[in-house]
Amino acid sequence: MKFSRHVNLIPQAILDTFNYKHTFTPLPQNVGKIYIIGSGSSYSQAIYTQQLIKKYLDIPVFYDNPYSFVRNTNLTEKDVVIHVTQEAKRNDNICPIEYANNCGVHTILFTSRDTELSRKCNEVYWFAPEFEKYLLLQ
């Protein structure tokens, strides 16, 4: 998609995001830690999500990039992994979810596409990518 077309679609993506009705599932009881994973332009959303959760919940929460997360994190079954991705199909999207699944961890995916990865997660929620950039420019 040409960048100019992408920019032209952003206002509708904002409306779609605000109008979309999610039914969020409560977090599992006795959550140990929450890990927010994102890469590329989704990394900023991972950081922001981590800050929001840290502000409102009394649960240890961390953000990381996919490969550092897989290499350096020791998950327990009480942990939750939230992955933010636009495409939900590249290796940097697949690896963290597969790692979390292998550890028996509850997984949540925020994405703009329905892919094979969506079916590997316990919960999947839709979001319009990069709309926060447009809101900041207004």
CATH code, residues 30-130: 3.40.50.10490
Residue whose pair of structure tokens reads 């839709």 in the numeric block: 126
What integer pLDDT is reported at residue 92 of this predicted model? Answer: 65
Domain limits, the chain: 30-130
Q: Which residues of the chain have pLDDT under 70?
A: 1-3, 5-7, 9-10, 13-14, 17-18, 88-89, 91-92, 128-138
What integer pLDDT is reported at residue 29 of this predicted model? Answer: 83
What integer pLDDT is reported at residue 128 of this predicted model? Answer: 63
SS3 per residue for 18-41: HHCCCCCCCCCCCCCCEEEEECHH
What integer pLDDT is reported at residue 135 of this predicted model? Answer: 45
CB-based contact 108:122 (threshold 8 Å): yes
What integer pLDDT is reported at residue 129 of this predicted model? Answer: 57
